[in-house]
Amino acid sequence: MRGPHNILRLIRTGATLERTGAMGVVLEAFNAPTSLRVAARILGWPFKWLGYKGDPNQPPATRALTALGPAYIKFGQILSTRPDVVGDELALQLRVLQDKLPPFPTEIAKATVARELDHPVDELFSDFSEPVAAASIAQVHRARIASTGEEVAVKVLRPKIERAFRRDIDAFYFAARMIEALAPSTRRLRPMDVISHFEGVVMGELDLRLETASAAEFAANTADDEGFSVPEVKWFLSSRRVMTLAWVGGFPSGEVAAIKAAGHDTNALGERILTMFLRHALRDGYFHADMHQGNLKVAHDGTLVALDFGIMGRIDEYTRRVYAEILFGFIQKDYRRVAEVHFEAGYVPADQDVDEFARALRAVGEPIFGMDASRISMGRLLSYLFEVTERFGMETRTELILLQRTMVVVEGVSRSLSPNINIWTVSRPIVESYIAESIGPKALIRDLGRTLRVLSRFGPRLPAIVEAALIKQQTPPEEPSSFSWTKTGALGVAGVTLIAIGVVVGIAL
């Protein structure tokens, strides 16, 4: 499927932007240079007739992305949280992509529920509403369980959504190949790997059984987090194309005016969103990776409620420690240490100069401190970071793309509630706490305990290990060296004895 026929798809993308009037809006939002604007118009206008018309009742950018398909809609959802990058006007237009897309008929949703759960909808639910939210992949209905009377949210996948996503991702692969071929300098960013990672994440989102499991795991991890909750999963009413959760009232986090009118402190909410994300990523290594405004609700009591668990991120403990050290180094303004951590982790090639890299990091970090976020141009900051990574030959780490993207989205959501929030100031106590728990003396003792517990599994095999160690000792030559077989054998046995002692300690721990 990843062949030249995708050229038509890419041409149609540009043509759709031109036909819907989104081309000018997008170029203006990104402050594109005059030469790029002229080139885009010259290349786009002849193919305008190939573009999708879209819904003329929608704003240009929303109209174009909706017409182009679900993968483009996902991209628009991310941009909607970054008014500092795309401007307030375009961000406002894109916000409707989060949960206000045209729904599919309720009768089709009911038929899907009945087919997936092997029972008529009327037997399962006493009420089943029209769609209350419709996004790029699924829509949600408010319902009431017939047997208990409990209110629930029923999520149903869009018809033929798998095929639509496959078509878009197919075009992205082709575009990535073209970029690598035409601009070899971009290969260090591994665009093909980036698309492959995106494909894996998205295709996992299209199986609601996996999302249900994700919601249950996330709920267990965050059960003790004050001011944050996850709706209860209803396993017996969930399947591959249907997921049912407890209904939660409140306001979407994007409705700032309504949240303020209800008496909630939006500054505190903005800070809580940031701290919860960092806590989940660092403490648990498992975080919500699609935290746009439509997926975060503010309950009537002020609790933050997470929704839509199709895209979750996971990072191993070693990587979490590396990133915590990097964040902590920035907070402490210890750019030399930040640079050393990059080299130790292999993020920067060993042939680069650590001092030069530290100086480049200082130029990135220093402007951040002492400012409120409203005075920081994240667009220029990210642009400079890109220049730094290119200069020092850093490759894109595909396993961390989700974390990096989510950090951008979460900061955008937080700033929509608290425009003057500073991510570094809010992050500091969370990162310091994680550093104390994971990198200090306590962590060393805990790691040793884990190592000894692993060694304890070899307890039943200790006699065989000792015997094998003795057998492997070779008979010394006729004129043995001063380091005799006896000494060697004794050292071997001593080593095994140390393991045995470790086993006992491990069991005790």
**Tokens in use for 107?**
């009768």
Q: Which helix (H) or strand (E) holds 504?
A: helix 485-508
What is the strand order of the sheet 138-145 is part of? 125-134, 138-145, 151-157, 242-246
What HEC string does 415-446 produce?
HHHCCCCCHHHHHHHHHHHHHHHHCCHHHHHH
- Residue 157 pairs in a beta bridge with 138
Q: Going by C-beta distance under 8 Å and a sequence separation of 6 or more, which residues neighbour residue 391?
A: 360
CA-CA distances (angstroms) from residue 350 to 341, 345, 392, 412? Answer: 12, 10, 10, 34
Taken in order 116, 122, 126, 131, the sign of the CA dihedral is: positive
CA distance 166 to 108: 22
290 catalytically annotated? yes
Nearest partner of 320 among 289, 341, 339, judged by Cα: 341
Query: For the chain, what is the radius of gyration of the CA atoms?
Result: 28
CA-CA distances (angstroms) from residue 219 to 26, 239, 251, 284? Answer: 38, 19, 20, 12
Q: Which helix (H) or strand (E) holds 218?
A: helix 208-221
* Annotated active-site residue in 99, 168, 290, 308: 290
b/e burial code for range 20-58 (CB count within 10 A of at least 16 → b): bebbebbbebeeeeeeeeeebeeebeebeeebbebeeeb
**Tokens in use for 191?**
């665009």
List the Cα angle 418/401/177 in 5-degree steps: 130
Residue type, 287: F
Q: For the chain, what's the residue count?
A: 509
CA distance 351 to 11: 41
Do 22 and 61 touch, CB atoms closer than 8 A? yes
Residue type, 429: P
Question: Which residues are catalytic, by number?
Answer: 290
